[in-house]
């Protein structure tokens, strides 16, 4: 019977297959042996962070760390481990109070690449370190003001204005111990020799009450930068002037004008606004109202684009008439015009002393007949009785001699 089996062709085919399978198993084990090795820099991943944040907690230390895994597996498993990410996942959703945490690293916390299947035997021998240690702290936030510090310089002939910061406050958040230390946020401008307005997005630095920076990964600012604008304006010393209106026989050539306490002020503004500014006029002064020496108080008014750096808001303008002669003349040539309808007007004042001024020889030639007084009643209240009305004094026949001062007479309406 045995002879018949061994003589069978199928017997030898079966034996060949068994020998080939045994040889395949042998070769496979020799080519893919079980080895021991270390997988380094395995990232620790924390899950349940959203739950932790809802409780007002955060990982303040140990949020970024790696571990090493010493494992035993076949060689092809190690090859596949090198082709994907190996991570250790720590669930923090069950933590309810701040404090130090230490979680032992076990097989169930380790995630292997998808290429590793359940049939791949991996024996975790040990880890380094053996635990994942981290610290949980309270999380908080608050708003702090932003301040600017200038550590640069402006060019000669320029000056800087006040900082403008947008937004004026920022929100800081993170570890409670660090957030509580922050008193304000600071931006620093250090540009040198500025000649134009500076405007940039600048990073903020968090500062404690002692002026020291508060730094660390466990505290953040939102936003991290603010828009800082520092006006830089040109400075210019500008003379003060007045507009002299000829009158009373005097022209600007006859007037000596002085200013007190100053005849110039320092102004600042954009270069385009300041460059064309040659003088600052304080208004008109009628020389017909100046007799001898008069002092006028004038306010200094600038356009909105300019700034009065000197801070002087008014000056006294002293006007003195020189080189002219004066003469007082009695005038009785009085005329009343524009009497209100239905009324009769009569000059109660019959004569008036008038001061004239001009070159001496021409003043001496003036006669009383050249002078006349005109009272215009067009703006007078139409009621009976006497009243004082302003008059205009005309000097006919001379262009170089004029009347000085203002005059009025009494008029009766019936």
Q: Is the pLDDT of residue 296 over 70?
A: yes
Give residue 15's pLDDT. 60
Place 274 in a pLDDT band, splitting at 50, 70 and 90: confident
What is the pTM for the complete model shown? Answer: 0.60
Q: Identify the CATH class of 32-129.
A: mainly beta
How far apart are alpha carbons 108 and 93 in whole angstroms? 17
Q: Identify the CATH class of 325-413.
A: mainly beta
Q: Count of alpha carbons within 13 Å of 410, Cβ hemisphere only?
A: 5
Q: Where are the alpha helices (DSSP H) in 250-405?
A: 271-275, 360-365
- 22-26, 81-85, 384-388 — which is least confidently predicted? 22-26
Task: Name the helix (H) or strand (E) containing 21.
Answer: helix 9-31
Query: How many other CB atoms are there within 10 angstroms of residue 299's CB atom?
Result: 9
Q: Is the pLDDT of residue 27 over 50?
A: no
What residue segments make up the domains of the chain, in order of their start? 32-129, 138-230, 234-321, 325-413
DSSP assignment letter at 291: -
Phi, psi (rounded to 5 degrees) for 243:
-95, 110
pLDDT tens readout for residues 156-210: 989 998 999 999 999 999 999 999 999 999 999 999 999 989 999 999 999 999 9
CB 356 within 8 A of CB 404: yes
| E strand intervals along 62-175 | 66-74, 87-91, 99-104, 110-111, 123-128, 131-150, 158-160, 164-166, 169-175
Give residue 284's pLDDT. 95
How far apart are alpha carbons 122 and 195 in whole angstroms? 70
Place 25 in a pLDDT band, splitting at 50, 70 and 90: low
Give residue 272's pLDDT. 84
How far apart are alpha carbons 149 and 162 in whole angstroms? 11
- The fold for domain 138-230 equals RNA Polymerase Alpha Subunit; Chain A, domain 2 (2.170.120)
95 burial class (0-12, 13-18, 19+ CB within 10 angstroms)? middle
How far apart are alpha carbons 111 and 108 in whole angstroms? 8
Query: How many other CB atoms are there within 10 angstroms of residue 8's CB atom?
Result: 11
How far apart are alpha carbons 319 and 258 in whole angstroms? 7
How far apart are alpha carbons 185 and 147 in whole angstroms? 6
Same fold, 32-129 and 138-230: yes
Place 22 in a pLDDT band, splitting at 50, 70 and 90: low
∠ CA 109-115-116, rounded to 5°? 45
pLDDT tens readout for residues 66-111: 999 999 988 888 888 877 789 999 999 999 999 999 999 999 999 9
**What's the start-to-end Cα distance of the chain, in Å?**
173
Residue with tokens 């109202």: 289
Residue with tokens 């500025």: 194
Q: Average pLDDT over the chain, rounded to whole?
A: 89
- The fold for domain 234-321 equals RNA Polymerase Alpha Subunit; Chain A, domain 2 (2.170.120)
Give residue 2's pLDDT. 47
pLDDT tens readout for residues 321-336: 999 999 999 999 999 9
Q: Shortest CA distance to 188 belongs to which of 230, 236, 250, 138?
A: 230
∠ CA 351-355-359, rounded to 5°? 140
Q: Is the pLDDT of residue 3 over 70?
A: no
How far apart are alpha carbons 73 and 403 in whole angstroms? 122
């Amino acid at each position: 019977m045995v002879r018949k089996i061994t003589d069978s062709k199928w017997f030898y085919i079966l034996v060949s297959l068994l020998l080939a399978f045994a040889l395949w198993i042998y070769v496979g084990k020799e080519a893919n042996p079980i080895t021991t090795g270390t997988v380094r820099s395995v990232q620790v991943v924390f899950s349940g962070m959203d739950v932790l944040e809802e409780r007002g907690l955060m990982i303040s230390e140990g949020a970024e760390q790696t571990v090493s895994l010493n494992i035993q597996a076949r060689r092809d498993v190690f090859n596949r481990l090198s082709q994907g990410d190996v991570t250790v996942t720590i669930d923090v959703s069950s933590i309810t109070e701040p404090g130090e945490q230490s979680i032992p690293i076990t097989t169930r916390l380790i995630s292997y690449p998808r290429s590793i299947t359940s049939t791949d035997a991996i024996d975790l021998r040990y880890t380094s370190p053996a635990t994942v240690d981290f610290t949980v702290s309270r999380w908080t936030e608050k708003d702090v003001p932003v301040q600017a510090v200038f550590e640069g310089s402006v060019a000669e002939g320029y000056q800087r204005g006040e900082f403008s910061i947008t937004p004026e406050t920022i929100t800081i958040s993170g570890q409670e111990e660090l957030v509580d230390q922050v008193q304000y946020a600071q931006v620093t401008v250090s540009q040198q020799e500025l000649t134009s307005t500076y405007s940039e997005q600048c990073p903020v630095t968090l500062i404690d009450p002692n002026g020291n920076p508060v730094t660390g990964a466990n505290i953040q600012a939102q936003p991290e930068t603010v828009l800082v604008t520092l006006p830089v304006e040109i400075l210019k010393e500008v003379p003060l002037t007045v507009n002299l209106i000829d009158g009373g026989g005097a022209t600007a050539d006859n007037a000596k004008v002085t200013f007190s306490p100053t005849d110039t002020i320092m102004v600042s503004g954009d270069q385009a606004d300041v460059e064309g500014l040659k003088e600052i006029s304080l208004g008109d002064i009628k020389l017909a109202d100046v007799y001898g020496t008069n002092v006028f108080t004038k306010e200094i008014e600038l356009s909105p684009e300019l700034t009065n750096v000197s801070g002087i808001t008014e000056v006294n303008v002293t006007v003195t008439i020189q080189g002219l002669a004066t003469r007082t003349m009695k005038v009785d040539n009085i005329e009343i015009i524009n009497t209100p309808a239905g009324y009769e007007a009569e000059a109660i004042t019959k004569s008036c002393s008038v001061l004239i001024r001009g070159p001496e020889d021409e003043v001496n030639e003036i006669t009383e007949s050249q002078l006349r007084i005109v009272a215009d009643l067009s703006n007078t209240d139409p009621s009976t009785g006497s009243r004082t009305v302003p008059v205009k004094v005309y000097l006919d026949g001379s262009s170089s001699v004029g009347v000085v001062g203002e005059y009025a007479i009494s008029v009766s309406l019936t």
